[in-house]
Amino acid sequence: MNVDVIEGNFEEWEPQTAKCFDLVFTATAWNWIDPEVKYVKAWQVLRRGGHLTFWNATHVFPEHEDPFFREIQDVYDELGVGRPKDINYPRPVNCRSTEVKLKRVVYLT
């Protein structure tokens, strides 16, 4: 199997102009990429019929949740990746579906 794996900052990456890919895959980092950049750049490097694949993991907090995540927030804060103090902990019913975000994406094949 002939596979190119490119790891790096997507916003700064300058693809070869003649190079097209069958797949652009990303995980939770997709959330932090500028929406005006991520979809356009992915489209520019995908071959016709190629696929953009991403997944996300959001911490949600049911009413009687396991308190572990809240209890370790000091550790996250020490590492510089803590939740802002003014952000509420989302309940499962309050999480918006990714489908909603994708309604503005046009299929460009």
Average pLDDT over residues 57-81: 80
Residue 81 has pLDDT above 70, yes or no: yes
Q: Which of 83, 37, 32, 31 minimizes the C-alpha distance to 55?
A: 31
Residue 103 has pLDDT above 80, yes or no: no
Distance in angstroms (rounded) separating the CA atoms of residues 21 and 8: 16
Residue % of the chain over a pLDDT of 70 = 83
Q: Which two tokens stand for residue 44?
A: 């520019």
Residue 70 has pLDDT above 80, yes or no: no
Q: Which band of pLDDT confidence, cut at 50, 70 and 90, is reported for residue 96?
A: low
Q: What is residue 49's three-state secondary structure?
A: strand
Distance in angstroms (rounded) separating the CA atoms of residues 89 and 26: 25
